[in-house]
Amino acid sequence: MNGLMMHKQMLISSLIIHADRHHGDTEIVSRRVEGDLHRYTFRDCHRRARQLANALANLDVKPSDRVGTLAWNGYRHMELYYGVSGRGAVMHTINPRLHEDQVVYIADHAEDKYIFFDLTFLPLVQAIAARCTTVKAFVAMTDRAHMPEDCGIANLLCYEDLLEDSSPDYEWPSLDEDSASTLCYTSGTTGNPKGVLYSHRSTLLHTFAAALPDALNCSSRDTILPVVPMFHVNAWGIPYIACMVGAKLVFPGPALDGKSLYELFEAEQVTLSAGVPTVWQGLLGYVEQNGLAFSNMKRTVIGGAACSPSMLRTFQEDHGVQVLHAWGMTELSPLGTVGTLKSRHSTMSAIDRHAVQCKQGRAVFGVDMKIVDQDGAELPWNGQTSGELLVRGPWVVRNYFRSEDGNPLRIDGGAHGWFPTGDVATIDADGFMQITDRSKDVIKSGGEWIGSIELENIAMAHPAVSQAACIGAKHAKWDERPLLIVVRKPEADLTGEQMRMFYEGKVAKWWIPDDVVFVDAVPLGATGKILKNRLREQFGDHLLGGAH
C-alpha cells in the first residue's frame, strides 16, 4: 500500500519561490565587479530570475542545455543559479582560475551553449572565445554603460539588456525532480576534470541536510557571507540554503583580500561564513596585524582542505568564532561530514575538545560512510585504524558526466554502490572521521604510511610558520621519506634544524621529516588548495640530492 501524501517534485525553483513569499524583504548584498555595493531583496532576485528565464527562452536555451558561467559571488550569478536551473536547463559553473586550456576543455566537454561572465574575466573570454565551438554567444554580466568595446568577441551580449527586454511574467515549469540541474567539474588535480551532474532532487536533499543544526546550523537570523566561490561546488550549497531558511546573503564579489572581507563582515554584521583554510589565513593575518575584532561573527565553516589546530584555536579562542570543520567533495555536492561536537564533549578540557573539532567530523544524515582495507574489508571505528574512505547517499555521484572511464562506484554485495573518495581516514567510536591523507599524497616510508596532514598541522603550530606542506620525497633506502616545505612568516627566523626539533616528542621519531625546504610561496590550485603534485614534481628528488 502506498502512502497518500502529495508527490510534489523537489525543485530548485521552489527555493526562490519560498524565499520571495516568506522572506521577500530579506537582503542580498553584493560587492560588484564595477566596484560599488549593490543591495536588493529575495523578492527582487526572484523577479529578475524570472526575467532571465524568459531571456533564456528567447536565446533558445532548451531543457537540459548547459549554460556556463565564469563569475564571482554576486547577485547576477545568483539569478543565473535560479533562472537557468529553474527553467530546466543546466547551470554549469566554471572555475575561472583554471588554465585557459582547461576552461576550453570543460566548456567543450559540457557542450555549453552560452557562457555568462563577469567583466574581470574578459581577457580570459577573449583568449578562449574562438576555441569554444559549442558556445553560441558570450554574455557580459553588466549593463550597457560598462560593456566592453571592440573586444574582438564575435557574439557578445549584455546581461542587463537581456533582462530589460524580458518580462517577469513567468511560471516555473513543473520538472521531473530527477532531471539535471547543475554541473560542476572537479578541479582536475588528479587528471582531466570530471563533470558531476547534480539533480534537482539531490540538490534539495543536500540543502535540507546542510542547513541542519549539527551541520551548518543556518536560520533566518543569520547573515551568511560565502567566501567559497559559487564556482567551487556551488559555494558549498549556501545560495540554496539561504533561500530555504531565509538568511541574508552577502556576496564579496572579486574582493577577497583580508581588508575587504573584514570590512564587509563588519559593515553587514555577518554571522556565518565559509571558505578554504588559505582564505582565512589572509583574513586572520589582517585582523591580527591591525588589532581588530569581529563584532558579530559567530561561526565559520572551514573545509576543502584540513583546518590546522592553530587556525581553529585562533578563531575560537582569540576571536570567539566557532569553527565548523567540514569535509566534502565535488562528488558529494559537497557536504559529507561536519565536526560539530556532541553534548558529552562539553565536559572535556578545551585541548581535548579542539582535538575532536580538528577531525573532519560526523556524517550528516543522508551520507553513509565506511573505511576499508586494501581488499575491501570493512575496518573498525576505533579512531586508530585507517583505511580508504567510501561513501554513499542520495547526493553522492553515481557516474561522471559523459564519462569514458566507466562507473567509478565500488559495488558491495551487489545491492549498493559505494563511491571511493580517494581519502584515507580513521573513524572513532563517536563516528568522527579524520582524514590522514589523500591516497595519492600518502607518504610510504619502508612500507609504512606516514600521514602528511598531521605533520603539516604540527608545522603550522610553530609561530614562525605561515604555510606548510609535507610530501613524500624519493629515498634510496626507504622508498619515500617526508620532506617538509615551509613558507616562513614575514621577518621570522627559523632554520630547518629548529623546525625538525619542533617535532620531537610530538610524533614517532621515524615520522619526523628528513629535511625542510624554505620557499617564498607554495603553489595553490584553482580552489585555493596547495598543489602537492606540483611540489612533488619540484622537490620529489630533493633527498636524492637531485636538482630542485
Q: Looking at the annotation, which residues are catalytic? A: 186, 331, 444, 449
Q: How far is the CB of 435 from ligand ADP (least distance, A)?
A: 4
Task: Identify which range of 96-104, 158-166, 198-206, 301-309 contacts ligand ADP by CB under 6 A.
Answer: 301-309
Please report the DSSP string for 254-314 in residue order: T--SHHHHHHHHHHTT--EEEE-HHHHHHHHHHHHHTT---SS--EEEE-SSPPPHHHHHI
Query: Of 196 and 499, which has the nearer Cβ to ligand ADP?
Result: 196
Out of 85, 223, 333, 360, point to the residue binding ligand ADP (CB under 6 A). Answer: 360
Q: How far is CA 96 from the centre of its chain?
A: 14
Asked if residue 186 binds ligand ADP (CB under 6 A), the reply is: yes
Residues 517-536 that bind ligand ADP (CB under 6 A): 527, 529
Q: How far is the CB of 189 from ligand ADP (least distance, A)?
A: 5
Q: Cα–Cα distance between 332 and 317 in angstroms, integer?
A: 31
Pairing of strands 443-445, 433-438: unpaired
Residue 334 preceded by cis peptide, ω within 30: yes
CB closer to ligand ADP, 186 vs 467: 186
Region for residue 25 given its phi and psi (left: phi exceeds 0; alpha: psi -120 to 50; beta: otherwise): alpha
Segment near ligand ADP (CB under 6 A); pick from 143-151, 350-358, 406-414, 416-424: 416-424
Per CB under 6 A, the segment of 162-170, 182-190, 263-271, 284-292 that binds ligand ADP is 182-190
Half-sphere exposure of 79 (CA within 13 A, CB side): 28
Q: Which region among 24-32, 117-125, 183-191, 410-418 touches ligand ADP (by CB under 6 A)? A: 183-191
Please choose, out of 12-20, 319-327, 362-370, 411-419, the segment that lies near ligand ADP by the rule CB under 6 A.
Answer: 319-327
Interaction residues for ligand ADP, span 225-284 (CB under 6 A): none
Name which of 51 and 421 has its Cβ closer to ligand ADP.
Answer: 421
The single residue among 85, 203, 281, 421 that binds ligand ADP, judged by CB under 6 A, is 421
Q: How far apart are the first and last CA of the chain?
A: 69
Residue 184 binds ligand ADP (CB under 6 A): no
189 binds ligand ADP (CB under 6 A): yes
Interface residue with ligand ADP among 435, 450, 483, 535 (CB under 6 A) is 435
Candidates 329, 443, 450, 517: give the one binding ligand ADP (CB under 6 A). 329
Q: Contact region for ligand ADP (CB under 6 A) — 79-87, 126-134, 374-382, 420-428?
A: 420-428
Q: Closest distance between ligand ADP and the C-beta of residue 330, in Å? A: 4
CB of 16 to ligand ADP, least distance (A): 26
**How far, in Å, CA of 531 to CA of 536, rounded?**
9
Give the residue, chosen from 38, 313, 410, 438, that forms a contact with ligand ADP under the rule CB under 6 A.
438
d(CA 220, CA 18): 13
Cell 559523459 -> residue: 402
For ligand ADP, the nearest residue by Cβ is 187
Give 401's contacts (C-beta < 8 A, 6+ positions apart): 109, 110, 183, 194, 195, 196, 197
Amino acid in the structure at residue 30: S
Tell me the closest approach of the beta carbon of residue 114 to ligand ADP, in angstroms.
Answer: 25
Alpha-carbon dihedral sign for residues 226, 232, 236, 240: positive
Under the binding rule (CB under 6 A), the answer on residue 354 touching ligand ADP is no
- Residue 323 binding ligand ADP, by CB under 6 A: no
CB of 307 to ligand ADP, least distance (A): 6
Of 181, 281, 330, 452, which one interacts with ligand ADP (CB under 6 A)?
A: 330
For the chain, how are helix, strand and coil distributed in percent, rounded to 5? Answer: 30, 25, 40
414-438: b (≥16 Cβ within 10 Å) or e: eeebbbbbbbbbbbeeeebbbbbbb
Q: Which of 510, 480, 519, 514 is nearest to 499 (CA)?
A: 514
- Which residue of 86, 253, 304, 387 would you call a contact of ligand ADP, by CB under 6 A? 304
**Contact status, residue 99 vs residue 120, Cβ threshold 8 Å:** no
Nearest approach in angstroms of CB 257 to ligand ADP is 22
Q: x-or-dash pattern for ligand ADP, window 142-181, by CB under 6 A?
A: ----------------------------------------
CB of 166 to ligand ADP, least distance (A): 35
- Helical pair 238-245 and 12-23, crossing angle rounded to 10 deg: 40
Three-state secondary structure call for residue 491: coil
For 494, other C-beta atoms within 10 Å of its C-beta total 18
Strands 137-140 and 156-158: parallel
Cell of residue 292, nine digits: 581588530
Which residue, 166 or 360, has its beta carbon nearer to ligand ADP? 360
Q: CB nearer to ligand ADP: give 20 or 423.
A: 423
Residue numbers at the binding site for ligand ADP (CB under 6 A)? 186-187, 189, 303-306, 325-330, 360, 421-423, 435, 438, 527, 529
